[in-house]
């Protein structure tokens, strides 16, 4: 993993994913290790973020590294017309590692090709969000005790939700069964279903999940991604299509855990929050440890 960019979850092998999960557990047990002393990380957020940016910043601080960057590209020279190529070339002169979120699909791959230092994709449009996937896998491993042979329900915006695309690709290495629940207009794109077909992974598509929820080990809820819709009327039609309520969890498995990459809008009612099967806030905390593991591995300090 040393010096490798992380643009797509497929950049990491199964063994590398398992190594990140193992290292995340080590960092959770002992979070204050000054392994990045003398290293500088650039944090370039061309799109809004709470969890990803702040958990990376927490991870860098806990590891004793320095951080530079921007949280709003309008405060950078992008607003004067500077290209992504020039921004990345400059920033790679100033730092040892670049963490970037950008609205354009493919922008992270492009940045990794022009950068002299590794690039971590913190989300590129509707494409991929690989560090979210690694924290999701750490969360699944912690709660299930295994990554193998799980029944995973992905619910909501499977078209634009980049977290479900990355998670599905990574989990496909662990013989899951997938249940995709979405309205027709937000179905899992064909390219991802083809990816599963090639690997012989079972998946089923549904419009509703209330009658099958008792089969789930992981229920991964997602927000309908308003910012990716070109037509606001289409968003209005589907924005409230799934709302998980506490009463729906009565007959579910004991090991079921409810995940959500957050932010939520109203797809998980707040009456679920006190249910022990709700795991989304712990999941977000796991992001600090997973991102410590990712940066320490890429910078070759662990
Ligand atoms: N899960 C996630 O990416 O959250 P943010 O958009 O707040 O970073």
* Token pair of 231 as six digits: 């037509």
Q: How far is the CA of 226 from the centre of ligand 1 (A)?
A: 14
Asked if the interface predicted TM-score (ipTM) of this complex is over 0.90, the answer is yes
Alpha helices by DSSP H, listed for the chain, are: 14-29, 51-62, 84-94, 107-114, 130-144, 162-171, 190-199, 232-238, 280-298
Nearest ligand 1 atom, CA 47: 6
Q: What is the CA radius of gyration of the chain?
A: 19
pLDDT by residue, tens only, the chain of 302 residues: 899 999 999 999 999 999 999 999 999 999 999 999 999 999 999 999 999 999 999 999 999 999 999 998 888 899 999 999 999 999 999 999 999 999 999 999 999 999 999 999 999 988 899 999 999 999 999 999 999 999 999 999 999 888 999 999 999 999 999 999 999 999 999 999 999 999 999 999 999 999 999 999 999 999 987 877 778 888 788 788 899 999 999 999 999 999 999 999 999 999 999 999 999 999 999 999 999 999 999 999 98
| Terminal Cα distance for the chain, rounded | 10
Closest residue (by CA) to atom 5 of ligand 1?
Answer: 49
Task: State if pTM tops 0.90.
Answer: yes
CB atoms under 10 Å from CB of 29, counted, come to 8
Buried b (16+ CB within 10 A) or exposed e, 248-257: ebeebeeebb
Antiparallel, parallel or unpaired: β 119-124 and 66-70: unpaired
Domains and CATH numbers, the chain: 9-128+287-298 (3.40.50.1370), 130-284 (3.40.50.1370)
Nearest ligand 1 atom, CA 262: 1
Buried b (16+ CB within 10 A) or exposed e, 37-69: eebbbbbbbbbebebbbebbbbbbebbebebeb
User: Which residues' Cβ are closer than 6 Å to ligand 1?
Assistant: 49-52, 123, 132, 261-263
CA distance 224 to 161: 8
Structure-token match 């990803």, residue found: 52
* Token pair of 118 as six digits: 């590794």
Residues facing 100 on adjacent strands = 44, 121
Closest residue (by CA) to atom 6 of ligand 1?
Answer: 49
Nearest ligand 1 atom, CA 55: 8
Among 44, 45, 47, 52, name the best residue to mutate to test ligand 1's pocket (greatest count of ligand atoms within 8 A of Cβ): 52
Q: How far is the CA of 17 from the centre of ligand 1 (A)?
A: 20
Nearest ligand 1 atom, CA 50: 7
Q: How far is the CA of 200 from the centre of ligand 1 (A)?
A: 31
Among 48, 50, 121, 165, name the best residue to mutate to test ligand 1's pocket (greatest count of ligand atoms within 8 A of Cβ): 50
Closest residue (by CA) to atom 4 of ligand 1?
Answer: 51
């Amino acid at each position: 993993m040393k010096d490798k960019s992380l643009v797509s979850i497929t950049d990491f092998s199964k063994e590398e994913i398992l190594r990140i999960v193992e290292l995340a557990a080590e960092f959770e047990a002992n979070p204050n290790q000054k392994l990045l002393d003398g290293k500088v990380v650039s944090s370039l957020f061309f799109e809004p973020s709470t969890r990803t940016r702040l958990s990376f910043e927490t991870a860098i601080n806990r590891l004793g590294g320095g951080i530079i960057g921007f949280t709003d590209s309008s405060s950078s020279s992008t607003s004067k017309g500077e290209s992504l190529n020039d921004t990345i070339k400059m920033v790679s002169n100033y730092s040892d590692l670049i963490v970037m979120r950008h609205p354009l699909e493919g922008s992270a791959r492009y940045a990794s090709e022009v950068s002299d230092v590794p690039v971590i994709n913190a989300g590129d449009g509707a494409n991929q969000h690989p560090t979210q996937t690694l924290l999701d896998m750490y969360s699944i491993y912690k709660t299930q005790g295994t990554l193998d042979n799980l029944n995973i329900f992905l619910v909501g915006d499977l078209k634009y939700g980049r977290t479900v695309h990355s998670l599905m690709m990574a989990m496909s290495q662990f013989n899951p069964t997938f249940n995709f629940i979405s309205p027709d207009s937000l179905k899992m794109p064909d390219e991802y279903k083809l990816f599963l077909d090639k690997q012989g992974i079972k998946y089923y598509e549904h419009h509703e999940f209330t009658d099958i929820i008792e089969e789930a080990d992981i229920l991964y809820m997602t927000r309908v991604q308003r910012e990716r819709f070109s037509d606001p009327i289409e968003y209005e039609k589907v924005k409230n299509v799934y709302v998980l309520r506490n009463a729906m969890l009565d007959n579910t498995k004991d090991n079921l855990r409810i995940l959500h990459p957050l932010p939520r809008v109203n797809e998980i009612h707040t009456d679920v929050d006190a249910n022990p099967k709700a795991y989304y806030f712990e999941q977000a905390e796991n992001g600090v440890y997973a991102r410590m593991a990712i940066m320490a591995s890429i910078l070759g300090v662990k």
